[in-house]
Amino acid sequence: MSGIPRKLALFVGLMMGALVSAGCASTGNQMPPADMMKPMEITAYCPCKKCCGWHRTWLGRPVTQAGHRKKVGVTASGEKAKPGTIAADTSKYPFGTVMYVPGYGYGTVQDRGGAIKGERIDLFFKSHQDALEWGRVKAEVFVWMPSANVANR
């Protein structure tokens, strides 16, 4: 599980263990609870200007469309963007929400975007080409919301 923070790896492992012990993630015909599965539109982004909407001033400083200074590669939660970073509507899916996206894997909501509203998420890729290859996909995403105790630490 390289690139996944230790606490997240532990959390995901515990959640998968709970699912297996409940019979949800077994090899049988049982499916995870319906409230954990959400149909979503899934797009992709990378840290480039085109994907994130920033540009450089005549001094070479990166700024947002509104002219505010931009730390390139840093998410809205303050974390460095890396594979597994998900941008979502944080009014629906707060920072720390864990998701499993078929074809991508596990990720954590650490970012948001102006066009990311409702049941839509944006997955981080290291390169613009990889983001383009992902394209726009509709899929059932498994969602584990953070508990109030974990979110307030």
Half-sphere exposure of 94 (CA within 13 A, CB side): 7
**With the CA atoms of 14, 102, 123 and 152 taken in that order, what torsion angle do they form, in degrees rounded to the nearest 10?**
-20
Query: Are the CB atoms for 24 and 30 separated by under 8 Å?
Result: yes
pLDDT higher than threshold 70 for residue 78? yes
pLDDT, residue 20, reads 47
- Residue 123 reports pLDDT greater than 90: yes
**For residue 128, pLDDT beyond 80:** yes
Q: Locate the domains of the chain by residue range.
A: 33-147
Tell me the C-alpha to C-alpha distance, in Å, between residue 147 and each of 92, 93, 152, 153.
14, 12, 9, 10
- To the nearest whole number, what is the mean pLDDT of the chain? 76
- Interatomic CA distance for residues 55 and 135, integer angstroms: 23
Domain 33-147 sits in CATH 2.40.40.10: yes
